[in-house]
Amino acid sequence: MRRRTFVKAAGVTTLGLAATGTASARYDDDQRYRPGGPRLGNERSINLNAFHTNEELATELAKIEDRSGRIDLREIGRSAGRNDPIWEVEVGGGDTKIHLITQIHGDEPIGTEVALEVIKKLAQSNSRQVDRILDNLSFTIVPRVNPDGAMYRYDFDGDGDEEWVARRQNTQPWDGESRYRPYYHYDGGYDMNRDFNVRPSAEFDPRTDDEEAWWTDDYLDMPYEGHTLYSSGLRLTPEVRAVTESFVEADPDYAITHHHKGGNLYPGSGDGNQPPKQTLLSVMAQYGEAYLDRSPFFPAGHEPVSEAVNPFIDAETSDRSIKLNSLVIDALGERGNSVFDSVTRYGYYPLWGSYLDGLCPNVANGGDPVAGMLYEVAYQTDHLGQKAFGRMLELTRVSFLESFDALAEDPDLGEYDVETYFDTPLYGASTAPYR
Ligand SMILES: [Zn+2]
């Protein structure tokens, strides 16, 4: 059996990996990057009363649809464990299409709360801002991809009663439907942001279409178009199949996904005369070979390319992805507020089972690639409390709305500078571990 080692990102110099900007990494004997393996005991003790239950979310969406003739609400699937509906909202009639998903990790709820507010605003407001957004943009929003994880029931405090907690994975057993149990199935569920696959559904079924040679232990290293797509997903979850279909039907120009990470310092703060300052938002663009030499974790010329960048994202699409991130960095920085100007970068490398890397090549629609963006909002830890919760909502709300404003104005985001993004530092040392 191959020996694998877990290494913390901090201080690692292998392959030029920066000290910060990425979650814990692990490598196999070939020094091949292996993304996010099992996280044991990752259920969180957080105050969930501030968030919508699955039932409340359904009620709220139905209410918005009733009151507004603008939105189209659709159930696109059901969660694997609870059999709760997965909702999709379409709104807007413009030429520029945006696909937005939130809470694919059940314990990452802020994006859903903001998505709901944004849906309500787009459905009900008669402001000039909203008119302009709806005239120029069309949205397909999946506001809670993981109802199982969002409403996980577990006896967290050991008192014999199950509490409502939240967890990353869904609650789907591995039933032997793939050749091997994939690395991203653990604790009775799948990490669904590892379950996507770049091949269209008609061309890949894990029951019939993989090959023994594609597997390295429990990792599917799938060959595709002259590349090896390491740690590809198997599309085993109904949630990921539903999101994939939603994406293919939407055939978007932009794809946005919202997550949480642990607490991290803004780099340079906390040493010398600088007080420690937490970065509350890290953003990440997705780009192809045009930006290979900007890859933060791999030296220029690193082979294979598919570990460093997404070779299916062309230069024009890479530019738009990066500029969408620059826009958010600018918009928050201009607020002149020390909370909002703490934006950092979440260093990009392809994660072939993820929403962005699996879907943005847009193979099912003929390979017209999609510009992606990922949000990582610092997690609400207990010691940060409700005030921090409000800030994270606000950061996300401002970022989404400023993005939509700018895209309504110019879908190519011509006035934004890719260097704004690359000048933004990778996030710094950890202050609160992501469990
Ligand atoms: Zn996440």
The CA 433 to ligand 1 mean position distance, Å, reads 14
Whether residue 102 lies inside any domain: the answer is: no
The CA 261 to ligand 1 mean position distance, Å, reads 7
| Average confidence (pLDDT) over 89-111 | 96
**Partners of 73 in beta bridges:** 89
Whether residue 27 lies inside any domain: the answer is: no
Q: What's the confidence (pLDDT) of residue 56?
A: 96
Q: Could you read off the pLDDT of 381-431 as tens digits, one per residue?
A: 544 566 677 888 999 999 999 999 999 999 999 999 999 999 999 999 887
Whether residue 55 lies inside any domain: the answer is: no
| Average confidence (pLDDT) over 368-388 | 78
The CA R_g of the chain, rounded to the nearest whole Å, is 20
The CA 121 to ligand 1 mean position distance, Å, reads 25
The CA 126 to ligand 1 mean position distance, Å, reads 33
| Average confidence (pLDDT) over 95-124 | 96
Structure tokens at 154: 């577990």
Q: What's the confidence (pLDDT) of residue 203?
A: 94
Residue 417 Cα distances to 10, 305, 330, angstroms: 29, 25, 10
Whether residue 256 lies inside any domain: the answer is: yes
Give the number of domains in the chain.
1
The CA 5 to ligand 1 mean position distance, Å, reads 23
Whether residue 261 lies inside any domain: the answer is: yes
Q: Could you read off the pLDDT of 10-59 as tens digits, one per residue?
A: 333 333 344 467 655 555 555 555 655 434 344 444 566 778 999 999 99
Confidence of residue 8 (pLDDT cuts 50, 70, 90): very low
| Average confidence (pLDDT) over 332-344 | 83
Share of the chain above pLDDT 70, in %: 86
The CA 231 to ligand 1 mean position distance, Å, reads 17
Confidence of residue 156 (pLDDT cuts 50, 70, 90): confident
The CA 86 to ligand 1 mean position distance, Å, reads 17
Q: What's the confidence (pLDDT) of residue 222?
A: 97
Q: Which of 7-21, 153-167, 174-188 has the lowest mean pLDDT?
A: 7-21
The CA 273 to ligand 1 mean position distance, Å, reads 33
Specify the 3-state DSSP secondary structure of 32. coil
Q: What's the confidence (pLDDT) of residue 30?
A: 56
Per the prediction, the chain carries an average pLDDT of: 88
Whether residue 116 lies inside any domain: the answer is: no
The domain containing residue 178 runs over which residues? 42-46+151-432
Share of the chain above pLDDT 90, in %: 69
> Contact at 8 Å (CB) between 435 and 168?
no
Whether residue 294 lies inside any domain: the answer is: yes
Whether residue 24 lies inside any domain: the answer is: no
Q: What's the confidence (pLDDT) of residue 150?
A: 94
Q: What whole-number distance in Å separates Cα of residue 14 and Cα of residue 9?
A: 10
The CA 10 to ligand 1 mean position distance, Å, reads 20
